[in-house]
């Protein structure tokens, strides 16, 4: 759980806090656990919500720094970028920013992929995420979930096939991409 939170939050202390909050919420809300899913799945869902809450809070708390503190400082900062003739120094030339349309398409693709991933059954999604997002090896997954190696491979195959079908229907079509 901590590893997953660290991947999402990119902050070890924040990840530990999110996991602790998720475990505390699960403990205090154990009466609401219906047993329809595995306990691990339920607690992991609570963790995902805590991660989303943390990310939203970070966005709200982000401060906007002034672009220019002082005109004199700005001139000093920029002076080192140019040669005596006023041209860009070769090593300080601006880098290509890439194609904004490509970046947007990539963001849209990952949004569709995430939607497809959430459509997988919990047990299948858990194995797939452990393997592909958390970098667990097959023996680690099998040990954690108490399943056989062959069952793990079957689950991964099913996950990949379902994701492929979903992506073919929702992304790799000639129609416009959903947002």
pLDDT tens-place string over residues 113-158: 888 988 898 889 889 988 887 778 999 889 888 999 999 999 999 9
Exposed, middle or buried by CB within 10 Å (0-12, 13-18, 19+), for 15?
Answer: buried
Q: What is the pLDDT of residues 167-178, one digit of tens each?
A: 888 888 755 445
- Kindly list the structural domains of the chain, giving each domain's residue range(s) and its CATH number in brackets, ordered by start: 2-61 (no CATH), 102-170 (1.10.10.10)
C-alpha 146/C-alpha 138 separation (Å) is 11
pTM over 0.75: no
| Burial class for 147, CB neighbours closer than 10 Å (0-12, 13-18, 19+) | middle
């Amino acid at each position: 759980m901590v590893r997953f939170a660290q991947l999402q939050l990119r902050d070890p202390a924040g990840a530990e806090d999110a996991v602790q909050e998720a475990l505390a919420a699960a403990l205090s809300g154990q009466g609401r656990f219906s047993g329809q899913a595995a306990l691990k799945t339920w607690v992991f869902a609570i963790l995902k919500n805590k991660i989303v809450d943390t990310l939203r809070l970070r966005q709200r708390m982000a401060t906007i720094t002034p672009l220019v503190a002082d005109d004199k400082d700005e001139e000093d900062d920029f002076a080192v970028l140019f040669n005596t003739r006023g041209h860009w120094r070769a090593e300080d030339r601006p880098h290509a920013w890439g194609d904004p349309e490509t970046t947007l398409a990539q963001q849209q693709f990952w949004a569709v992929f995430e939607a497809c991933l959430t459509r997988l059954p919990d047990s299948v999604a858990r194995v797939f995420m452990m393997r592909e997002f958390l970098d667990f090896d097959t023996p680690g997954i099998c040990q954690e979930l108490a399943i056989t190696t062959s069952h793990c491979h079957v689950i991964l195959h099913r996950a990949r096939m379902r994701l492929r079908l979903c992506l073919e229907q929702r992304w790799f079509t000639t129609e416009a991409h959903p947002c």
